[in-house]
Each structure stands twice: as structure tokens, then as C-alpha cells.
Structure 1
Amino acid sequence: MEQELYIGVMSGTSMDGVDTALVAIEGERIALLASDDFPMPSALKQQMLDICLGQQTSLVDIGRLDHLLGHLFADAVNALLAKSGYQPSQIRAIGNHGQTVFHQPTGDTPFTMQLGDANIIAAKTGIDTVADFRRKDMALGGQGAPLVPAFHKTIFHSTDSSVVVLNIGGIANISVICPDAPVLGYDTGPGNMLMDAWCYEHTGEKFDRDAAFARQGEVNPPLLAKLMQEPYFELSPPKSTGRELFNLPWLMAQLADMHVSAADVQRTLCEFTALTIANEVRRHQTGPQPELLVCGGGARNPLLMARLAQLLDDWQVAPTSTKGVDHDYMEAMAFAWLAQRRLHHLPSNLPEVTGASRLASLGVVYYA
């Protein structure tokens, strides 16, 4: 297979910006050529948060956001091209995840909704665009998430020990690669989402830079115990979650009738994230040198990384960057790879991860 260039576009549950990654793909070889972090307007983010948290909305609001996000993602791609010096004609396709505003993978009417009109992206960039990756998997009985474990399977390999790839975005999810075993993957629970929301509420900062706020407090054991009682943690994989469950109103409900300082809440949330991740990672320990490779924004939280290393002292804990894969752009790279799989009609889901009834080539192509 000849080398082709693709751009992946990812805006995750943290909604802290649009990550773009330009990659070269040749067979199973994937190289990051350029990357960028495009800012998301605060007003647009707030409108999406309102929808995610169940506030009343309308078809007009949904349509307007779909349009605005289409332009935002197109502008992010064009900014990456300008920064890198590549031309649209050199790019085979864009893989655009879209902005998730609701994910309900269970119940009588399972569905997932990502906004960002791919027609606008294709027209404004002049590049064929692949989007709507999750719904085919759900139509086949799957959760539609997580999709990145299939990419992790391609770029990381285990020998005689477990390799677990942990993405800490708004939600934390793991891909489990064990010797002579199918790949597993699922959402462990909150990543940065609750920490970011609480930090913004009490400091005005979008996230707790260097865990400075959390370091001012101490873990509150009663609060931590209450948080750990969330039924999601008792579910067996395949499972996925999002902002519709873990959000600020959920946290406030846990805090009802409790008197905990703001800094202690922040420190407890960090411990909560670390503990829920470590509990799941530990289930998959095999071999003498298991590795936990961390990507996403949480890899930049020194307190969270330190606690993971302490809780998993039998594991080698390190950012994916130590393996040559930029921990900030892993998911954007994954959606570039998913676009490549779609254009070549190759399967891109893992039924053992999502619960789908069969393999499928995911995504819908929007031609420029």
C-alpha cells in the first residue's frame, strides 16, 4: 500500500480545543508529520455544555451548533495546513470525530450524537472528509465506543507482559493488549472532566495547571467513598460513559449535606480519577513487566501521574511519548487512521471491545 497523508480532527469531552494531526500512513506504519491545537470559543463551548447537561434545547439550537462546529473544524484543518506548509491536494482525506453532545449506548433506543457538519468541512477545506464513525457500530449492537483500541492494537504490541494504553481526556478509557489474547477496551470513568469543572467553578481556570489547586487540599475519605459507590463502576465491559453521567450536577449531588473545602474536593477528585483507573488497570496485569502508557491531557497532570505510579507500583507508568507517539495527539491520529481504513474498505471496529455483532468499516464519506 502506497503512503498516503491524512488529517485527524478530535474534539473530546473536555471541549478544551480542537486537536488536529497530519499523519503519513503506509501499511501499518503511521508517522505524525504535523499537529496543532486550535482554540474553541468559550461561548460555543458553553452552548454545548448546556446541551450535554440536559438543559432545554431546540432543533434550531442543534442545527446552529452543527453548522458552527463544521466551520470550526474546517478552520482548524486549514490552520494546520498553513502551519505545516502542506496543500489540500496532498491530503487523501480528513477523519473528523465531531463533538459529542450526547452518548446513550444502552436502553430501548441507544444512540450517540456528534455535531460538526462534515459537508462544511469538505467544502471549506477542499478535502474529502470521513465522519459519523460511531453509529454503524451501534447499529450492529455495539456501544460505538471506544474506537481507539483498534488503533492502539496497530501501533503498540505486547510481548510477554500486558500493555495498557490509557487515554485521560474528559473521560478515561483503556486499551488492553495482552499476549495471545483479544484486545479489550472500555471507559473506566471520569478523566479530567470533574476536576476541570470543579476547578473552573472555584478558580476561573479551565483546568488545574500542574495540579496546583489540588495540592492545596487533602483527600476527604467520606467523599471519596461516596464517589466510588457510583453503579457504573460495577458494570462489566463492554461499557462506555460520558458527560451525561459524570458532570458538575452529579458531583454536587454527592456533596449534598457534606462540608468539604473546595481544595479538598479538588484533591479528592484527582484521587477518585486515579483510583478508578488503577482498579481497572490492575485487573489486566500479566507478565513480569506490565506497562501503562498514558496519553491525553491527563498525562500532563503531575499529581495524577504520580498517584497512578504509586497505585500501580508493579507497572511501568509513562506517557506514550516515550514510545514515539505524541501523548497530546494520539486520538487525532487515531481518527486519521480510521479515515484511511474507511476509504480502503477495511474493518476498523473491534467487536470484542464495543460489543458489535461483527467487524465493520466505520464512517461516512463526504466528498469535497
Structure 2
Amino acid sequence: MNDASKANSAQVTSPPLQYAIGLLSSVTGDAVEAAIIETDGRDEIRSIGGVRLPCPETLHWGLLEATQNDMPSTEIFRLEQELTRHYVLAVEQLRACWGDEVAKATVIGLDGHTLRRLPQEGISFQIGNPWLLAELTGLPVVTDFRRYDMAIGGQGAPLEAMYHWALMAREPRPALMLNLGPVTSLTWLSRDNNIIAGDVGPGFELLDEWVQEVAEAPHDYDGRVSKAGTVDQASVKYALESPFFSRPLPRTPTRSDFETIDVSGLSPTDGAATICAIIAESVLSAIEQLPERPTLAWVTGAGSRHPLIIERLSTAFDEVRNVSQRNLNPDTLHAESFGWLAVRYQRGLPVSTPETTGCRVAACAGMCTSRGPWS
């Protein structure tokens, strides 16, 4: 049994179920997401619901500026205060939709907004004030998962892999879940419950930036921009020559890993189509590293309904299914994962393993604003 299997090994008695809220912000800072689940912190999970709350323009552009450029520390602290209060509004919106369940929540898992991430140097800097969030919501907040994982040799990502594993606990093996989010990641489970996970390539952050800046469209979730374009195969080939794509899993990228992705000379539609092809081909390249290819691939994340990407992925599997077919929300599943991780933290269970982030040992990473009932 590997470290990941030990992390979810059977318990003597079944622990009680617990309501938990997960919070995060989009990579581009245009919205925050909140979701609530009921779980035992292992593989008993009930997905209840989630919301996406757009950020005011001032907050959105402030987060974008802080992500791309150096800012005075005072401005960053003010930005963090504004973001934290927006998280509180997302919790209130969640309460308006699922009041009975939110009233029973006992913990919040906060991912925060990442301003800097340099996994090779063990650096991750996120904002989101857990103490203010705890004060305004009345709930303990578990956060800072990534920095502890890096401190024990991990890359700080993909943290959602353990949650995907739990969701696939009863799936026929080998099992696979693809997260077509800001970065594309996969989680693979063997017949013996071994896990392989990692980020495999660019995701919808890159496509969003392109269509917003060049095509003047808010997004391309439905493929409206990219379907009108033609893939530039030379650009796809050049992009996949980055050493990142040949590195073994687990792995996670920095922006410099994708410097070979250059569609600047293409039209808005051709550029979008080419980015979609790069996303899909990076997945197929990673699949070749797996010991056994599953017949079924589950997909989640913002890109899980994108027609061009799903069409290309469908050539590699007998079936490609959206997690919505399991009554899961692909748009808020990532936020759910941090509620689940918060419960695991409170119960002293590992939130990352060598197979998911490359850390030295499966560990209960993070910090909490107060001791939980199972601490």
C-alpha cells in the first residue's frame, strides 16, 4: 500500500459526517466561489451546492495587477481586506440558497488568491485574511495548505487530487478524473488503489486571457470563439516541446513553463482554437505516462463542457463523462475540495501525499484559526 492509500485507509469506526464550506477565488480575480458539502473527510461525500460571486471591477483589476506586477505591501493588505469581505458575501449568498445546511457548517476551508507561486523555490504567496473571515462568519477557518506542503518538499499542487480520489472511490478501476480548470490536472487510480496525479498542462486561464484581450469576449466556455477558428499545428507542436510536458508526474507548472505557447501571430479565432488544441494534446500526452489507460474519463472544471476539447479527448477514451452526470457541479467542485480538505485537517488526516504533490510524506498540511472539535 503506497502513502496515498494509507492516507485514506479504512478506519475502525465510521467518523461522524460534518458540514463544511470551501472558498477560493478565480485565477484571474474576476470572481470568488463558495461551496458546501457534507462529509466524513474520507469518501463519504454529499455535494450540496455552490455559488460564484463576481468581484467588483476595482477588486478584479486590483487582484490582476497584484498577480502580474509588484505592488506596495500596504496596497496588498488593503486588497486582502476587500477580498476577504467579498468571501463573506459569497458565504452569505451560499446561505441564501442553502440556509439549513450552511447553518450546520462547522468549518471553512480557504484557498485564498495566489499572487506568486514558484514551486521550484518552495514559494507560494496567497492573500485572504483567515482571522477576519473567521470573525465575520463565526466559523473556524483552515487555510495555508500550500506552504506547508512546500515546506515538506511538495509543489503545493494539485491539492484537489485527493478529493477527486475520494469521489472516485467506488469507480471501476483504473479510474481517471480530468480537471479542466485554470490549469489542467489529472487524477488516476489503479486497480490496487494506487494514485498518480499532477498538473499536465495549461488550462482555461490561458484561454480566458486570450479571448478577453484579443477576441473581446468574456469567455469561451461554449467554444463560440474557438469553433470559428483553425488550429495552427506548428504552434501546437512548438508549445509541446517545453520540457514541462516530458517531466514525470506529479508536477506543477510555473508561467515560464508555458513560454513556448505563442499564438500572438494568429487571428483571435485561430488563436483560441490553437490554445484549445494545446490543452487537449497536453492531456493526451500525460495519459501516455499512465501505466494503464482507463476506458472512462470523468471531466470537471470550467472547460469540462468545451466542445472542441471534449471532442479531442473523446478520441482517447471509450467514454468521456461530465461529473454533472453524477449530480456534481463541475463549476464549483474545486471549491468543494477545500471544504473537504478542511475537515481532513481537523481530523488529522493527510491533505497531500508524495503521489499527488511530490511531498516527502503524506501529511496534515495547513493551519486553523481555532482548534476544531476533532483536533
- Same fold by TM-score greater than 0.5: yes
For residue 45 of structure 1, report the CA deviation from its aligned partner.
Answer: 2.4
For residue 89 of structure 1, report the CA deviation from its aligned partner.
Answer: 5.2
Q: What is the CA–CA distance in structure 2 between the aligned matches of 1:47 and 1:11, rounded to whole Å?
A: 13
2:286 aligned with 1:280: yes
Segments of structure 1 that go 5 or more residues without pairing to the other structure are none
- C-alpha contact (below 8 Å) 2:263/2:271 kept by paired residues: no
2:144 counterpart letter in structure 1: D
2:304 aligned with 1:299: yes
For residue 12 of structure 1, report the CA deviation from its aligned partner.
Answer: 3.6
Q: Report the equivalent of 1:337.
A: 340
CA change 1:262–1:205 in 2 (3 A) is closer
2:38 counterpart letter in structure 1: A
Q: What is the CA–CA distance in structure 1 between the aligned matches of 2:197 and 2:183, rounded to whole Å?
A: 13
CA change 1:102–1:61 in 2 (3 A) is same
2:80 aligned with 1:66: yes
For residue 99 of structure 1, report the CA deviation from its aligned partner.
Answer: 1.0
Partner SS, residue 88 of structure 2: helix
- C-alpha contact (below 8 Å) 2:215/2:268 kept by paired residues: no
- C-alpha contact (below 8 Å) 2:221/2:302 kept by paired residues: no
1:120 counterpart letter in structure 2: L
2:305 counterpart letter in structure 1: R
Q: Write the deviation string for residues 304-339 of structure 1: whole angstroms up to 9, x where unpaired.
A: 1112113x1x34211112233322221111111111
Q: Report the equivalent of 1:225.
A: 237
- C-alpha contact (below 8 Å) 1:158/1:179 kept by paired residues: no
Q: Report the equivalent of 2:354.
A: 351
Percent identity reads 27
Partner SS, residue 34 of structure 1: strand
Q: Write the deviation string for residues 267-323 of structure 1: whole angstroms up to 9, x where unpaired.
A: 111111111112112432626x5221110100121221112113x1x3421111223
2:33 alignment partner, one of 1, 19, 22:
19
Partner SS, residue 279 of structure 2: helix
- C-alpha contact (below 8 Å) 2:36/2:48 kept by paired residues: yes
CA change 1:363–1:340 in 2 (3 A) is same
Q: Write the deviation string for residues 244-280 of structure 1: whole angstroms up to 9, x where unpaired.
A: 654xxx47x8357xx4222111111111111111211
How does 1:1-368 map onto structure 2 within 5 Å? 1-26=15-40, 28-53=43-68, 55-86=69-100, 90-107=104-121, 110-157=122-169, 161-243=173-255, 246=258, 250=259, 254-255=262-263, 259-284=265-290, 286=292, 290-310=295-315, 312=316, 314-367=317-370
- C-alpha contact (below 8 Å) 1:346/1:361 kept by paired residues: yes
TM-score by length of 2: 0.88
Q: Write the deviation string for residues 124-173 of structure 1: whole angstroms up to 9, x where unpaired.
A: 11111111111111111111111111112222037664211111111111
- C-alpha contact (below 8 Å) 1:176/1:184 kept by paired residues: yes
Q: What is the CA–CA distance in structure 2 between the aligned matches of 1:285 and 1:218, rounded to whole Å?
A: 33
TM-score by length of 1: 0.90
Deviates more, 1:206-215 or 1:237-246: 237-246
Segments of structure 2 that go 5 or more residues without pairing to the other structure are 1-14
CA change 1:152–1:209 in 2 (3 A) is closer
Q: Report the equivalent of 2:10.
A: none
Q: What is the CA–CA distance in structure 2 between the aligned matches of 1:51 and 1:261, rounded to whole Å?
A: 29
Aligned residues: 356
Q: Write the deviation string for residues 174-221 of structure 1: whole angstroms up to 9, x where unpaired.
A: 111111152111111111122111100123222114111111110112
CA change 1:14–1:185 in 2 (3 A) is farther
